[in-house]
Structures are given as structure tokens and as C-alpha cells.
Amino acid sequence: MPPELLRMIITAVLVVAFVFLNAMILGYMERKVSAHIQRRPGLMEVGPHGVLQLIVDGLKLIGKQLVVPEGASPFLFRLAPLLSFVPCVLPFVVIPFSRKLQAVSMDVSLIYILAMTSINVIAILVAGWASNNKYSLFGTFRSVAQAVSYEIPMLLSLLSVILITSTFSLKGIIEAQKYYWFILIQPVAFIIYFISGLAETNRAPFDMPEAESELTAGFHTEYSGMGFSFFFLAEYANMFTVCSIATILFLGGWKGIPLPLGDYTGIVWFLLKVYGLLFVMIWVRWTYPRVRFDQLMTFCWKYLIPFSLANLLITAVVVKII
């Protein structure tokens, strides 16, 4: 077996394993954090402090039947969860967890990640369309409009960092933060990116596509079993991707105070930062009410985009002068 092929297989297995592990960690974290925010113990039954609950939940979901509703398009209905899941796995290939731990080093890794995460919209579109359910369709309308809109401020805010580093390579961006993190010189870009990230991953208070009290469960209303869990995995994988980009671009990636862990120091710092941001995402979700859909769009087009454009312009001018 050629070493390159072996390397690919190992990467694929590790990445998929990490996606599942991440979903379990995040699922547990979300339920525990929300429980403590709501002053209740949360998971307690399976394993110590319920740590094994997510494994049991996973088995339950695997054991369930995927019911294809009457009138739905069976092929598209089954395709959508996979379409959602696969692109969410791919960004992990290029994410530099530490100086040495990166499966593929690409010069355009940032563009690659952004391209991959955008495919998720198509999956939601297919899921909502194929379900033959009006609530799903509703969720789809919202989701597509929302994802397309929020991609703009997201990209613009990232661009202002790229202007400084002049590279799309994630490693290059981290190396550029030798003396300070970019959050210090680009705080506006960070905030805009993080808000857009919340919207991109359909997290509350921007969880329009799955707004429970309005649309029951939005685009995945009709999904059960593994169909549902793929969307669930994809959402958590997406959250991880969004937060890791934030970490890489604004928080210095794997950089941090040296720990007595040798080569593992970088990965520990990286994961700490990413899960720290994820904690904030969960915290926001369990604290705020949901915004209304038109307010969501107004917020994007009237505030986020002008601010990110202004930020980009100022950055460009400053970079040119320096």
C-alpha cells in the first residue's frame, strides 16, 4: 500500500472519529451547561454525571427507523442528511490543531473551509424541499436567506485579517500572530465574525430555520433516527469549524503559554480556545430569546455588512500606510 493512500485512510478515519467525538462532547456540554444555567443537575443517570448518556442516545438514534413521509421524494430525502454531513467533515482535514497536527496543508485552506461550510445550505434546502412538509419548507426558506446573507459579513470580517497576513494558509495566519493575537487589532471583525458564525450555524438567538415554537423543528421536522443525527452531527461539526476559524484567525490558534506537555501543548491550547468559544455559543443560546426573522435580516444588512465594510476599508488604508 502506498504511504500516501495509507495516510489518506488514517486521516479520514481520524477526522470522522473526531467529528463523532466532538458531537458527543458538545452534546454533553450543551446539556450540562444548559442544565446548570437553568439550575438543575441535567444528565445524571448513565455513567458518572451522565457522561455515557450521549453514547446511549447515539445507539438509540442508530436503532431508529428513518421514516420517509408520504409524498416526500425518497431519494432526496435520504440524500439530504449525507449532503449535510459530508461537507462538515471535510474542513477538519485542513484545520491545524497544532504546529504539527494538520492532515493537509493547503495554501488556500481558509477559502476551502468557507466553501465547504457553505454547502450545508444546499443540504438544508434539499431536506426541506424533499420532506413535503410546510414547516420544513418554511425552515428552508429562512435558512437559505439567512445563510446567504450572513456569509457576506462573515467573509468581509475574515478579509480584514487576510489583508494583514496576505495569506490564506491557516498556518501562515497563526504564524503571523507572533507577538499579539489579531483580536487586539481587529476586535470589530471578531465580533462580527462571531455573530455571523452564530447565524451560520443556526444557533440561538438566530436559530430561525429550526425555531421550535414557530416551525416545530424547521427543516428536520420529518427526520428521525440517523437522518436526524446526521443533521445534529453536522451542526456540531459546523460549530466546531466556526469556532476553530475564530481561534485561528483571532486568538492565535495553537499559541499559548508553554505547558509541560511537549508537542501536545499546542493542541491543548487550541482545543481550550475552541471549546471556550463553544461554551460562549451555548451560553448565549440558553440565555436569549429568539429574534424575529425580519429583524435578523435587518440586523445583517443594515448593521453587520456596513460595519464590516467600514472595518475592511479602514484596515486596507492602515495596511497601505504601514
Partner 1 sequence: METATVTNGASIELEPAVDIPSSCNHYYLNMGPQHPSTHGVLRVLLEMDGEYVVEAQPVLGYGHRMHEKMAEHKTWMAFMPNTGRMDYAAALPYNHGYVSLFERLCGIEVPARAEYIRVITSELNRIVSHHLWLGAFLLDLGAFTPILYTFDDREQVLDILEDVTGSRLTYCYYRVGGVCKDIDDKFVERTRAFIKRQRERFKVYNELVTGNIIFLKRVEGVGIITPEMARRYGVTGPVLRGSGIAYDIRKAEPYSVYDKFDFEIPVGKTGDSLDRYLVRLEEMEQSLRIIEQALDQLPEGPYLGKVPKKLKLPTGDSSFAVEAARGELTYYLVSGGGDIPYRLKIRVPSYSNLSVLPELGKGLLIADLVAAMGSLDLVIPEIDR
Give me the residues that bind partner 1 (CB under 8 A), please: 34, 37-40, 133-135, 138, 141, 204-205, 207, 211-214, 216, 285-295
Helices (H) and strands (E) in the chain, counts: 13, 0
Residue entry with cell 412538509: 133
Q: How far is the CB of 131 from partner 1 (least distance, A)?
A: 11
Number of Cβ within 10 Å of residue 281's Cβ equals: 20
Q: How far is the CB of 132 from partner 1 (least distance, A)?
A: 8
Spell out the residues 6+ positions from residue 129 whose beta carbon is closer than 8 angstroms to its own: 73, 76, 136, 137, 140
Q: How far is the CB of 301 from partner 1 (least distance, A)?
A: 16
Whichever of 78 and 290 has its CB closer to partner 1, that residue is 290
Q: How far is the CB of 75 from partner 1 (least distance, A)?
A: 21
In whole angstroms, what is the distance from residue 215 CA to residue 128 CA? 12
SS3 for 100?
Answer: coil
Q: How far is the CB of 295 from partner 1 (least distance, A)?
A: 6
Check the CA dihedral 315-276-255-246 and report its sign.
Answer: negative
Q: How far is the CB of 283 from partner 1 (least distance, A)?
A: 10
Answer left, alpha or beta for residue 86, where phi above 0 means left and psi between -120 and 50 means alpha. Answer: alpha
Whichever of 199 and 248 has its CB closer to partner 1, that residue is 199
Whichever of 95 and 291 has its CB closer to partner 1, that residue is 291
Answer yes or no: are the C-beta atoms of 296 and 141 closer than 8 Å: no
Whichever of 58 and 139 has its CB closer to partner 1, that residue is 139
What is the distance between the terminal CA atoms of the chain, rounded to a whole angstrom? 52
Whichever of 126 and 211 has its CB closer to partner 1, that residue is 211
Q: How far is the CB of 134 from partner 1 (least distance, A)?
A: 5
Whichever of 117 and 133 has its CB closer to partner 1, that residue is 133
Q: How far is the CB of 287 from partner 1 (least distance, A)?
A: 6
Spell out the residues 6+ positions from residue 165 whose beta carbon is closer than 8 angstroms to its own: 172, 173, 176
Spell out the residues 6+ positions from residue 120 whose beta carbon is closer than 8 angstroms to its own: 84, 87, 88, 147, 234, 238
Whichever of 95 and 204 has its CB closer to partner 1, that residue is 204
Which residue type does 107 have? D
Whichever of 95 and 195 has its CB closer to partner 1, that residue is 195
- Using CA atoms, how far residue 115 sits from 111, 112, 118, 119, in Å, is 6, 5, 5, 7
